[in-house]
Amino acid sequence: MLRSTLQRYPLFVIVLAQLCGTSLWFSINGVWLSLSRELGLTESDLGQLTLTVQAGFIVGTLGIAVTGLADRFRASYIFACSSVLGALVNAGFVITAASPPFDLVMRFLTGLCLAGIYPLGMKLVIGWTPKHTGTALAWLVGMLTLGTAMPHLLRGATPGLPWQWPLLGSSALALLGGMIILILGDGPHLPMGTAKAHLRSGLAGLRSPRFRAVAGGYFGHCWELYAFWTLTPLLVTREVLRMHAAPALIPLISFIVIGVGFAGCVGGGRLSQRFSSQWVANRALAMSGIICLAYPFLTWAPPGALLMLLMLWGTSVIADSPQFSALAAAAAPREFVGASLAVMNAIGFALTIPAIWITSNLWGSQGVWVTLWLLPGPVLGLWSMRRLDSLED
């Protein structure tokens, strides 16, 4: 009975589960101010913890591609198991936060589990809603964005409680997400692969010129996106202090700056129906690149104006992501869609590591000027996407 009810609204169920599962991703960033005060951690430590999650995600996505898990086993099973394990290791950080290197181990394992949530969520969407994939993936990535922002909201909603509670809240959400996906099951439109898969299965998409062009745009997008999300509480803190406002506003405003990307994803999905996924991806990437270039030259502007600009940046920086996924899914070999997307994600997230490392380590000496280090992402991404119009598979 419950399964049949959920299967009437599969997209809603999948994106809700994605919201719950991906709340694990930046769970540490949401409580960063409390952690830094209590444990004496620095911005460089924040970068290191975030990088460790990214590294775990990369290893996990490569593992999925090498073993063929994404195309040999039910996506709903992998998603549910990853959500449960991710909830447990995220909660484990509460115990190990003051005990390096075990804190990094827990964050690495969290990233490993996320590799079974985000890419498999994309496959679930394709399996349930093969038509209007760009729109469906827009909702999925929009929920990823809200999931990323959720720890900031949990921290802002619990100002008087210890930092451990928001982390445990993220774990509870992940458990809920895994449960509802397990009940929903797999969609009918993508059969489970039967042939033994190898890494070359995931690399098969790279033989397509169109897939390579889309992947290049996605790689530039990744360089900018996660470093921006890492910098968001630091950029917001600067403006809140300039306004002489209460520090309790920092996590709430950080949630808005990141979470407003949901509107960018959904709005971009609707525009993709009228124009195309390529049209939306190019314009969103160009807008975020322009803001990336302009922002450090506008530090003289009123804090309120800069916070509004950050919200515009938060909207555009993620709006292209679902369109890249839709374009890549269309260009990838049908029998290896899951593995191809996993490899693309792995390479893209590998590029987030130097971007996060550079910006978090240089923040103390360069301040807002570190945003210029993000500019190569949009520039190179747009250059790669320009080749699409002249390419054929």
Task: Give the pair of three-digit tokens for residue 45.
Answer: 């430590």
Which pLDDT score is estimated for 91?
A: 93
- Before 101, cis peptide (omega within 30)? yes
The lowest-confidence range among 50-59, 148-157, 165-174, 175-184 is: 148-157
pLDDT (tens digit per residue) in 361-373: 899 889 999 999 9
CA distances from 9 to 185, 214, 261, 272 (A): 12, 30, 23, 22
First vs last C-alpha separation in the chain: 44
Distance CA 365, CA 374 (A): 16
Q: What is the mean pLDDT of residues 229-252?
A: 91
Q: Measuring CA to CA, which residue among 210, 232, 230, 222 is closest to residue 285?
A: 222
With bands split at pLDDT 50, 70 and 90, how would you rate the model's confidence at 194?
very low
Asked if residue 322 lies in contact with residue 134, where contact means CB atoms within 8 angstroms, the answer is: yes
Which pLDDT score is estimated for 333?
A: 64
HEC-encoded secondary structure of 172-232: HHHHHHHHHHHHHCCCCCCCCCCCCCCHHHHHHHHHCHHHHHHHHHHHHHHHHHHHHHHHH
The lowest-confidence range among 199-203, 209-213, 229-233, 349-353 is: 199-203
DSSP state at residue 295: G
